[in-house]
Amino acid sequence: MSFHFEATLASRDFDVSLHCEPGETLAVLGPNGAGKSTLLAIIAGLLRPDAGKASIGERVLFDLGAPARTWLPPHSRETALLAQEPLLFPHLSALENVAFGQRSQGVRAAAARSSARDWLAATETEEFASRRPDQLSGGQAQRVALARALATSPELLLLDEPMAALDIHSAPMMRRLLKRELAHRFAIIITHDVLDALMLADKVAILEGGRIIEFGPTLEVLNRPRSRFAAGLSGLNLITGPTRDEGIDTDYGLIAGTSESPLPPGTLAAATFSPADISIYLDPPHGSPRNMLTASITEIEPHGDAIRVRAGQLAADITVAALADLALEPGMRVFFVLKATAVRIYPA
């Protein structure tokens, strides 16, 4: 049962089409305001687009094309949404919260409670069965909310940054549970964390400005980013330009690198390279066969044990000693130098 989705919503400048294969987990990443929550809200039936259609297998969630419009209400979609905040019913115990979904699907009380116990066990929250939400930590409550979402056996599980509200102690536990529970499940997870995408998702969609700008298998998108956003997730610099015989012609100068296959001159190509592979020079290093990009420093900031020097869209990591030695300051025009073997080139 594959999932097919296409929708437009002019008021949010949203225009997205996507397709997922059965059992896949899709991670949706993108900057603030990209349309990630809008996507989930439309799938869940909480927000109506201007046009579009979505289906899981043969089952139509909505089809707003003329003449016969279909719009299933949220409770008939067989989707479950796990929000950033657990949103448990405050007056019900953890067990009753988890049983609630099945009860409202018409399952008898005893059966719903028994199934709820199983889901509490699966999310390692059995011991909190009789506690109310205000007696649970954030991480415990989020695990109970996951149990509640899974207990309704949704065809499609929607997760809106499920780790966002968790502290550093609770997040690894939730991540481990999700890894197990999402393994063969149809799920879409919004995340800001590249680690979640790597650990949990088969595919990644990068949303920007209400459009999908990259889509594909997680490792492929992160290894061969075509957008600056995806390159940033992988900690890489990305510059683009037309191919020349000697390299790519970019805003910072010509850059040569290694490419898997030859690119005909004029092809729009991307070059990616690590900030750690760059050396900064104040004068052009004469006679060097290496790449030399010319840029003006915009920011200098600590980055782990190193110093990150930004120049427009480029970032270089240098040592504190090198920073002191070069007396770098924002506004200075410098040369970012790196070997061609440190640069990967592929079609943009």
Ligand X SMILES: Nc1ncnc2c1ncn2[C@@H]1O[C@H](COP(=O)(O)OP(=O)(O)OP(=O)(O)O)[C@@H](O)[C@H]1O
Residues that bind ligand X (CB under 6 A): 12, 30, 32-38
Shortest distance, CB of residue 302 to ligand X, whole angstroms? 26
Give the Å distances, CA to CA, from 123 to 69, 153, 163.
39, 15, 15
Shortest distance, CB of residue 40 to ligand X, whole angstroms? 8
Name the one residue in this structure whose structure tokens are 């760059």: 278
Shortest distance, CB of residue 41 to ligand X, whole angstroms? 7
| Longest Cα–Cα distance in the chain | 81
Shortest distance, CB of residue 128 to ligand X, whole angstroms? 29
Give the Å distances, CA to CA, from 44 to 28, 75, 105, 157, 159.
15, 9, 17, 10, 11
Shortest distance, CB of residue 32 to ligand X, whole angstroms? 3
What's the CA gap between 113 and 92, in Å, rounded?
13
What's the CA gap between 205 and 333, in Å, rounded?
36
Comparing CB distances to ligand X, the nearer of 13 and 251 is 13
Comparing CB distances to ligand X, the nearer of 132 and 192 is 192
Comparing CB distances to ligand X, the nearer of 32 and 261 is 32
Give the Å distances, CA to CA, from 28 to 39, 218, 234, 266.
9, 10, 15, 32
Comparing CB distances to ligand X, the nearer of 30 and 49 is 30
Comparing CB distances to ligand X, the nearer of 48 and 184 is 48
- Burial class from Cβ neighbours inside 10 Å (0-12, 13-18, 19+) for residue 110 reads exposed
Comparing CB distances to ligand X, the nearer of 13 and 127 is 13
CA-only gyration radius of the chain, Å: 25
What residues contact residue 50 under an 8 Å CB cut-off, 6+ apart?
8, 9, 10, 64
Shortest distance, CB of residue 159 to ligand X, whole angstroms? 13
